[in-house]
Amino acid sequence: MKSKVFLPAVLGCLGLSVIISCEKESVRIDKENSFNVSFKSTLNEQVMLKNDEAKILVQVKNISDNRCPTHVSCTDAGEATVRIEVSNIGNAKAESLLHIGGAHDETSADSVTINLDGRLYNIYLMGVNPHPIEGSSEIQTAEIRVNLK
C-alpha cells in the first residue's frame, strides 16, 4: 500500500520540478524609452523600448572608438564602432555593428534594419560621446534611436 502512495508522491515532485525549471528568467531593465526617440546607453545597459504594438530590449555590447582625439593632429580621422543586441519578448535576437566617423560621415547616423519575428526595426547610431580626448578615461555612451518600420 505504501508503494502506491509513494509512487504518485514521487511523480508529483518530479512534475513540480519540471514546472519550476520551466519558469522564465527575469530580465534586468536599466531604463525605459519610447520608439522614435534617441536615448543614450553605456556598455551592457538594458534599455526597454515599448509602445502598444511592440516591446524590445536594446543592449550596447561593445564600443570601440579609435577616432582622432580632440586637439591632436591625425592623418586618419578614425571611426567609432558600436555592437548592439536587440531582442524581443519571444526571445528572438539580432546583433549588428554600427559605425560613425572614418569612411562614415561624422554628422550622419549609420543605420541598419533588423527583423525580429516578422517585425522590422530601423536602428540608428546617432553618436558616440564623449569624443576621445588624449589621456581621458571617461565612460563612453552610444546615442541610439530605434524606429518601428
pLDDT at 17: 35
pTM, whole model, 2 decimals? 0.76
Domains of the chain: 26-148 (2.60.98)
Q: Is the per-residue pLDDT at 10 higher than 60? A: no
Task: State the SS3 of the chain.
Answer: CHHHHHHHHHHHHHHHHHHHHCCCCCCCCCEEECCCCCEEECECCEEEEECCCCEEEEEEEEEEECCCCECCCCCCCCEEEEEEEEEECCCCEEEEEEEEECCCCCCCCEEEEEEECCEEEEEEEEEEECCCECCCCCCCEEEEEEEEC
Q: Is the per-residue pLDDT at 148 higher than 60? A: yes
pLDDT in tens, 53-96: 899 999 999 999 989 888 888 888 889 999 999 999 778 999 99
